[in-house]
Amino acid sequence: MKYAKLLALGCAVALATVGMTGCTKTTADSTQTFEAEESESVTAQVTAVDGNTVTADLGAMAEMQAPGDGQAPGEAPEKPDGEAPSGEAPEKPNGESTDGEAPEKPDGEAPSGETPAKPDGDSSDSQAPSDNGNGNGGVPNGAPDGQGQAPSMFTASGEAITFTLTDDTQITVEQGSETTDGTVDDIKEGSILELTLDADNNALTVVVKNAGGPGAGGNDGPGQGSDASNGTAATTIDADTTADGETYSSTDDDENALRVDGVTATLSNITVNKTAGSSSSADNGDFYGMNAGLLAQNGATVTIKNATVNTGVKNGNGIFSYGTGTTVNISDSTIRTTGDCSGGIQTTGGGTTNAANLDVETQGNSSAAIRSDRGGGTVNVNGGSYVTNGTGSPAVYSTADVSVSDATLIANNSEAVVVEGKNSVSLTDCNVTGNMTGTYQDDSENIHNIMIYQSMSGDAEVGEANFTAEGGVITAKSGDMFYVTNTDCTISLKNVVFKLANEVFLRIEGNSSERGWGQEGSNGGDVVLNAADQEIDGQILVDSISSLKLNLTEGSGFTGCINQDGAEGTVDVTLSKDSTWTLTGDSYVSSFTGSTDNVIANGYHLYVDGEQVL
């Protein structure tokens, strides 16, 4: 989810033999002039950047594999040994993966603004970092080796354009479902761009569809290769430690205030302040913990009680658990973050976070309170308050297995929960509120409270997502209650109170693929909705490339209609003997299992496989 700075983009060269202004366009046999109509949008992949002059291949976003085929779209694999960035650059992966966060997924869940110059492992004071395991702050040990490869996100047309960056074009950067402000530094070799040009071939807008560098369009995935780094640390704990009442601070670039590296630490009544210091890489901040307040890595076990954590920088995630074997146990603590891409508790690379009774609030965009990213992991939360205020900042963004119980989850300017890819969110007796006040990019995007999707960014494996809720209250202040696109998922509900913002309880449909979420026309959703002892009110909409299996059991009641305007996608409804369906409009389904005596027509009609049964 990325939101961008401004600079402009004009077409550089017109052939003297052609009497019009245009961008230079090259084929294997000839050079032609590309003439743009006013506000025309084109898609291109950058092949070279020379100062403010950019050369790119024209083409289109490639067709992605349909959801549910079990293939991973370039998921960032766990580091083989679960280790965090060390110093040596790994060999280039045999398989290639695409980059991107999620959004908010993104994310999703979404991301950072500027994508600064490539990190090279140096600390801000030009001295070799000494706190990351081998003293040089470089890339991860055992960095991604290409498992979970992604298909190319771009299909070239065989033509190229050359354009010039100026000072007036709006640049946004997308990763997964996240969108943030961008700069010229975000436009790198391999970046996929969507350009809007005026009649004079000046760019009005530039959307970086996947945040380039070696990682875009089938090169090394983001954060891989020589770019992968966790930066440095002001203080590193690398021996078993018990500390009480200590303060850990950082103001340098790409630096953690505190890092716990491969050891056991018990930290009570500590204060962590990350008040200054920019992040040179959104990917390294999102995936590896660069610039976070506290980073645990390399199999560390950290127990934190009564802590106060404050960050005010981009990628200033409060508490970051990275890597297989790393476990953070945190309780009765307060976390505040104000920068973009700055979650409260962040888990990636197979790490584990166990949280109890936290008071978490984030202010920035793409800053979920309970946040995960590439490589996922396990997150267990019991009790506490988790509040976000930025756009693209759900209370929970999951590319992991996330369980939350007896907690308050509030997203004041975003959807409440996002599940991306083959991951899960389980809520028990939670009070959840979301308020997605607008779309992040295109007006055609959906507004919703709970989103389940596959971004194809490489941040989450393709497969069946799961959302489970039992007890509690889920409130939507805007949009649909559930939105599912470009994925398979199972939604399981029991005794939850839903408060809708509009008439739609569940929308399952394809999307325009403008965000790279699959290929338009084949990126719908396939949903199993299990409702036990559950009341559901509202419409269910299933488009022609989507499907739904609705199972109402244990005395459930559905007051609503399904596809009231006519049959579209496949819809199978099973109604137990003790459950009821009260129609609020004509409904069209493919199959119906149960007794129509349990369907209250209420003046409307039920059609099954084209035949009216009520």
pLDDT along the chain (614 residues), means of 10: 32 33 40 49 81 80 46 37 43 37 37 32 33 39 34 71 80 67 76 78 76 30 55 98 98 98 99 97 95 98 99 98 98 98 97 99 98 95 99 96 99 97 97 91 82 79 91 98 96 99 97 80 95 99 98 99 97 99 98 98 97 97
Residue 597: CB atoms within 10 A of its CB come to 9
CB 190 within 8 A of CB 129: no
Bridge partners, 42 (sequence order): 195
Strands (E), 253-343: 255-256, 258-261, 264-268, 271-274, 294-297, 301-305, 308-311, 319-322, 327-331, 334-337
Beta strands 611-612 and 480-485: pairing type? unpaired
Spatial distance between the Cα atoms of 153 and 45, rounded to a whole number of angstroms: 10
The end-to-end CA distance of the chain, in Å, is 46
CA dihedral 293, 296, 297, 303 (to 10 degrees): 180
CB-side neighbour CA atoms (13 Å) of 483: 21
Handedness of CA 94, 83, 339, 485 (dihedral sign): positive
Can you read off the two tokens belonging to residue 514? 């403008």
pTM of the predicted protein model: 0.70
Can you read off the two tokens belonging to residue 56? 């790119």
Predicted confidence at residue 217, as pLDDT, reads 29
- Would you give the DSSP letter of residue 119? P
Phi and psi torsions of 390, nearest 5°: -90, 170
CA dihedral 90, 95, 96, 98 (to 10 degrees): -100
